[in-house]
Amino acid sequence: METRRKLVLWISVLMACLTNSWVEAAPVKIRFDGCKPGRVMGGQGEIGPLMHCCPPMPTGPIVDFVPVRNMSKPLRVRKALQCLEGEELEIYVEKLRKAYAIMRSFPDDDPRSLEQHRRVHCAHSTGAFNCEGQGVDIHFGWLFYPFHRFFLYFHERMLQTFLGDPDFTLHFWNWDNAGQGGCGKPGDIIPPMYADRNHRSTYHLSRSNRTYDPELVVDLWVDAWNETRLPGGFSKEVTKARNLETMHWSMITMKDAPAGYSGRVYRAGYPRVTPYVGAGTLEVSAHGALHKWVGIDMDDFSFAAGDPLFYPHHENIDRLWDVWHNLSPNNTYPTDPDFLDAEFLFYDENLVLRRMWARDTLDMTNFGYTYEAVDNVEWLTQGKGDAGVAPPADEMPGYLDDLSASDGKKERSFLLRRLRE
């Protein structure tokens, strides 16, 4: 009895240590002071060069920001890019080009510039901000969705201001749509308005040559953090089938996903982790795969947000967060106060530094927008992995070639294992 009680005591001490509970739990808070250069996280830990991405310090006081829905205005609808047509498409593309031309015209140290948007995202990806002695990374954990919702919101607000059009709405890249849902047009190819080299404001030079092919279907099944697995080499049909499997897994079955849909618990003072350990199912799969598919700068968190294509990509992530939430009553947001009270800072269009909280992202209608209800029927009903459409990755020609070129690192990655089971 005595030994048993001792054992129980020791186990609880051990558990307390393992869960960090001797440190008072607290939410992550972003602070600009103490910001320093850092590195992005790859599949094996910190990688790449030291990045200098700290934002400028505010010249005035920080002002709290709580989004509240203006009931006298209808919600702005962020639409699927592939479904725009006719005059609506023409007007949209013209405004988009104009807004990004203005955004690019600000000096690099102005928070309204595209370069500052890149750096702000870079800073949040490289451990630049210090919280309780640890560099903060808003990826690979439960801050992923709230951070990006705020980031997109302030980005869009600036575009509206540049255009003098408070109703301007940034539309989304519906890359999970293989062509049966919604307006019946596939969204799984590069949106043409972002791929036109004659219009540099919405174009970006550092992308992979995959993006030069207007008909090439995106590969959502690539393992974004395993450098030995690169996109491509499959027929359109196989790629589409694999994409639906990825979506079905990341939105519905989530089989054996260690961090679930929302991502790992992440409090003040927690060390950074690698994607496989911390990222939620959609973040670790289709989200990362799209970054990899676009490639080069988009494939590097310190440069990704300098490509205008980053924003419609992330709007689809933002939309899918909401879709997931509405798929089942079991799909609930984290209720832990350290999630809800996580604190962010962003410059608004008037260069006022605003302070905001993750709790306020949970209802997007407070931001005045919603998403066009595209039909997700394809990955809801297909992609269950039982049709045998997507054979194991290491039996596929494209992957085999990449693997043999890479020193025989043949161990299968976390994601691909999960998808096969």
3-state secondary structure of 327: helix
Is position 319 an interface residue for ligand C2O (rule: CB under 6 A)?
A: no
Catalytic, 124? Answer: no
Catalytic, 139? Answer: yes
3-state secondary structure of 330: coil
Q: Considering beta carbons, is residue 128 or 304 the nearer one to ligand C2O?
A: 304
Q: How far is the CB of 148 from ligand C2O (least distance, A)?
A: 6
Written as six digits, the tokens of 269 are: 């003072």
Is position 264 an interface residue for ligand C2O (rule: CB under 6 A)?
A: no
Q: Considering beta carbons, is residue 117 or 314 the nearer one to ligand C2O?
A: 314
Catalytic, 313? Answer: no
Is position 314 an interface residue for ligand C2O (rule: CB under 6 A)?
A: yes
Is position 139 an interface residue for ligand C2O (rule: CB under 6 A)?
A: yes
- C-beta atoms surrounding 378 within 10 Å: 20
> Residue 380: CB partners within 8 Å, gap ≥ 6?
248, 252
Is position 118 an interface residue for ligand C2O (rule: CB under 6 A)?
A: no
- C-beta atoms surrounding 358 within 10 Å: 24
Catalytic, 248? Answer: no
Q: Considering beta carbons, is residue 112 or 291 the nearer one to ligand C2O?
A: 291
CA distances for 403 relative to 110, 398, 411, angstroms:
43, 9, 10
Q: How far is the CB of 5 from ligand C2O (least distance, A)?
A: 48
* Separation between Cα atoms, residue 124 and residue 135, nearest integer Å: 9
Binding mask 328-367 for ligand C2O (x = CB under 6 A): ----------------------------------------
* Separation between Cα atoms, residue 69 and residue 118, nearest integer Å: 28
Q: How far is the CB of 378 from ligand C2O (least distance, A)?
A: 23
Question: Site size for ligand C2O, by CB under 6 A?
Answer: 8
In this structure, are residues 202 and 97 in contact, taking their beta carbons and an 8 Å threshold?
yes
Catalytic, 140? Answer: no
CA distances for 10 relative to 2, 5, 7, 16, 416, angstroms:
12, 9, 5, 10, 38
Closest among 171, 228, 257, 287 to 406, alpha carbons compared: 228
Is position 119 an interface residue for ligand C2O (rule: CB under 6 A)?
A: no
Q: Please pick, among 117, 155, 204, 314, the residue that the annotation labels catalytic.
A: 314
Binding mask 279-298 for ligand C2O (x = CB under 6 A): --------x---x-------
- C-beta atoms surrounding 101 within 10 Å: 14
Q: How far is the CB of 324 from ligand C2O (least distance, A)?
A: 16
Catalytic, 291? Answer: yes
Known catalytic residues are: 121, 139, 148, 287, 291, 301, 314
Q: Which residues bind ligand C2O (CB under 6 A)?
A: 121, 139, 148, 287, 291, 301, 304, 314
